[in-house]
Amino acid sequence: MEQRSWAPLWAALGGDPALPERVRHVRRGGPAGPLPARLPVAELARSAVAVCALAAAEWAACRTGGAVPAVTVDDGAVATAFTSERHLRVDGRPAAVFAPLSRFWRTGDGRLRTHANYPHHRARLLAALGVPGSAAGGAGEDLVEAVATELAHRRAEEVEELVYRAGGLAVAVRTPGQWAAHPQGAAVAGLPLVGYERLDGTPPPAPYDGDGGPRVLDLTRVIAGPVATRTLALLGADVLRIDAPHLPESADAHADTGFGKRSALLDLGSPSGRRTFEELLAAADVVVTGYRPGALDRFGLSAGELAARRPGLVVAELSAWGGAGTGPWGGRRGFDSLVQAASGIAVAEAGPGGAPGVLPAQALDHGTGYLLAAAVLRSLTGRRRYGGTHRVRLSLARTAHWLLHELPGRTPEPEPAGAPGGHDPAPWLTGADSPLGRLRHALPPVEYEGGPRTWSRPPGHPGADEPVWR
């Protein structure tokens, strides 16, 4: 496999420079692979999976004391996994992806992208715009038309700030150059793609007993963080996802990314909830957080406080815009679609007439998820060998910068998705019975010799498990 794009990433993770030779690449489709785009999306996807699979193979060897097994990165498996939410079927029903008010809009001076998949975000968007219907359950054509009419005479950046102050989600569509000149774009460009550090010299942990793997507290939502923890679950980790009882969650998103995990509800604002969390933390090996930066600090869950209470922990932090302290947007909420719009990706992928475009997958989410899993696995390997408390940090915006400016392979025109030799996902789809119904789902793309080919358990109902370790 060509290593020009991901071998430096492996080196940045502190990986053995000889190990990339263990990776074999199976190429599918035309020059752009099975994820056709102007930007090198296929290269991003295979690179993220390559370092993740190699880190998984290294971790397996570290646990068994054997040699690092050979790794295979198959473009077909990668492309199918990067579009897993589109392939998911629950009793034959396709998953819902975007709500009607999550879309591009024309404004008086350009374009705007909104995200309103969750009811509270939808209500805040409508309230900020003064459009009636904030509490309505649907979003019919009349409501879409009302929002379009309201935005048609406004400035995109004005709406961006107005909706942000109301707790909603909207960003102006910018060119790559405009984003590079924006204070947040400049701040993100100065970050490493994967922030990776060892915080102290805590001694190595005792070996795990029997078949037990590392214990992972999953405090993430939507795609990127859950993809990372879904991957850790594949590799034998005991992953316990914790959600607040009052926060709504997409049942389809949970079904897509809940494989291998257990799911519990815990109110961290209550004394009993805090006690339970501290008991879980005392036996945890990894904590992965993906909420808005700073949102968990009031519960004592900042990286520094977690590390102080649980020496030897691996703390993994995921953000949309770079994290608290990184530019004026570092602490804001965000989603893949918004980062694509703000960073210039939507302009780079523009369609006929200059209409903003999108990537052929939510590649910032999925790519960042596999990079996050790779960093956690490398941290676990380092902890096993040398000890230490470890911290890793990634953001969707920095992954966007990697795609726009650092990966090779940009093309003037994307190959049509239905072109001869286009991607057929069937070989990388399978079925499973679950508490949610009969599922059709994508197989994991992380593959090494002797490793698992699918998860040991399907997803269950959100919050159905007790907040205890196995």
pLDDT at 248: 78
How many residues are present in the chain? 470
Q: Phi, psi (5° rounding) for residue 265?
A: -100, 140
Tens digits of residue pLDDT in 76-126: 999 999 999 999 999 999 998 889 999 999 999 999 999 999 888 999 999
Tens digits of residue pLDDT in 426-467: 999 999 999 999 999 999 999 999 999 999 999 999 999 999
Asked if 345 contacts 367 with a C-beta cutoff of 8 angstroms, the reply is no
Percentage of residues in the chain with pLDDT exceeding 70? 94
pLDDT band of residue 211 (cuts 50, 70, 90) is low
pLDDT at 455: 98
Asked whether the predicted pLDDT for residue 225 surpasses 90, the reply is yes
DSSP string, 306-369: HHHHSTT-EEEEEESSS-TTSSTTTTS---HHHHHHHHTHHHHT--GGG-----SS-HHHHHHH
**Torsion sign (Cα): 410, 75, 232, 336:** positive
What's the whole-number mean pLDDT along residues 141-159?
A: 95
Tens digits of residue pLDDT in 280-296: 999 999 999 999 998 89
What's the whole-number mean pLDDT along residues 62-83?
A: 96
Q: Phi, psi (5° rounding) for residue 367?
A: -60, -45
- Could you tell me which of 400, 318, 398, 358 has the C-alpha nearest to residue 115? 358
Task: Count H helices and E strands in the chain, helices first.
Answer: 17, 17
pLDDT at 125: 96
Percentage of residues in the chain with pLDDT exceeding 90? 82
Tokens of 396: 């969707």
How far is it, in rounded angstroms, from Cα 326 to Cα 305? 20
pTM value? 0.95
pLDDT band of residue 413 (cuts 50, 70, 90) is low
pLDDT band of residue 414 (cuts 50, 70, 90) is low
pLDDT at 136: 45
What's the whole-number mean pLDDT along residues 195-209?
A: 85
Q: Phi, psi (5° rounding) for residue 435?
A: -60, -20
